[in-house]
């Protein structure tokens, strides 16, 4: 079985360097273009099911792919982005101004910083497990796709590969990039990571 992962396209918050988390930003013009560019690449793998989070930026990114494949996406809150608590909606400069002590902690250890109202790790991990259960359900087709969020996908790959969830999460997902996972005979592999060939020239836009 194969799982395609794609991060949503760019939003105004991404462009401004803001923590989005569970805030429901739509795609900006560049993000909508990325979604169109993403669709043919995902469609080449002919996923039989397409999952998204229930946040707009994920749903909007998946829409061109769903149209091309002629399938209805399945949106679930299980795939929502990690909640950054009081940091959501803020840029790094705003965090430094409003929460200087917390800002210094973030610079030292983003994962270890105590962010008020953030999603607890065990609660987040439970959502990861629920997400993997949906993706790996026995009645699913042999290839499925998920259009989701950077931090969620990062942790999902860590969980999928059986790495230490309390250790590093090294998988940084680019906007509208594609990653491919495979499970065969209980062997789990990362086959492809952050494919961006379909976005060639975006850096100059």
Write out the chain's pLDDT in tens, 205 residues.
Answer: 999 999 999 999 999 999 999 999 999 999 999 999 999 999 999 999 999 999 999 999 999 999 999 999 999 999 999 999 999 999 999 999 999 999 999 888 777 788 999 999 999 999 999 999 999 999 999 999 999 999 999 999 999 999 999 888 999 999 999 999 999 988 999 999 999 989 876 554 4
* Residue 202 pLDDT: 58
- Determine the pLDDT at residue 49: 98
pLDDT of the residue at 48: 97
| 3 state SS for the chain | CEEEEEECCCEHHHHCCECCCCCCCCECHHHHHHHHHHHHHHHHCCCCEEEEECCHHHHHHHHHHHHHHCCCCEEEHHHCCCCCHHHCCCEHHHHHHHCHHHHHHHHHCCCCCCCCCCCCHHHHHHHHHHHHHHHCCCCCCCEEEEEECHHHHHHHHHHHCCCCCCCCCCCCCCCCCEEEEEEECCEEEEEEEEECHHHCCHHHC
pTM for the complete prediction? 0.93
Domain 2-83+119-204 sits in which CATH superfamily? Answer: Phosphoglycerate mutase-like (3.40.50.1240)
- The answer to whether 41 and 35 have CB atoms below 8 angstroms apart is no
Strand partners, 76: 53
* Residues 113/85, Cβ–Cβ less than 8 Å: no
pLDDT of residue 201: 67
Report the candidate in 25, 5, 26 with the shortest Cα–Cα distance to residue 153.
Answer: 5
Check residue 29 and give its pLDDT: 98
């Amino acid at each position: 079985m194969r799982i395609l992962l794609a991060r949503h396209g760019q939003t105004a918050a991404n462009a401004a360097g803001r923590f989005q988390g569970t805030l429901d930003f739509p795609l900006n013009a560049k993000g909508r273009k990325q979604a169109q560019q993403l669709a043919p690449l995902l469609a080449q793998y002919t996923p039989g099911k397409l999952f998204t989070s229930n946040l707009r930026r994920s749903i909007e990114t998946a829409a061109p792919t769903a149209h091309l494949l002629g399938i209805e996406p399945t949106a679930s809150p299980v795939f929502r982005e990690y909640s950054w608590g009081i940091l959501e909606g803020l840029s790094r400069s705003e965090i430094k101004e409003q929460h200087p002590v917390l800002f210094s902690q973030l610079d030292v250890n983003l994962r270890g910083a105590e962010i008020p109202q953030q999603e607890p790790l065990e609660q987040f991990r439970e959502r990861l497990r629920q997400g993997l259960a949906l993706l790996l359900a026995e009645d699913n087709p042999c290839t499925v796709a998920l259009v989701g969020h950077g931090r969620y996908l990062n942790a999902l790959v860590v969980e999928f590969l059986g790495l230490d969830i309390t250790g590093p999460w090294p998988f940084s997902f680019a906007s509208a990039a594609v990653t491919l996972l495979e499970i065969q005979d209980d062997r789990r592999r990362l086959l492809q990571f952050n494919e961006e060939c379909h976005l060639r020239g975006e850096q100059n836009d």
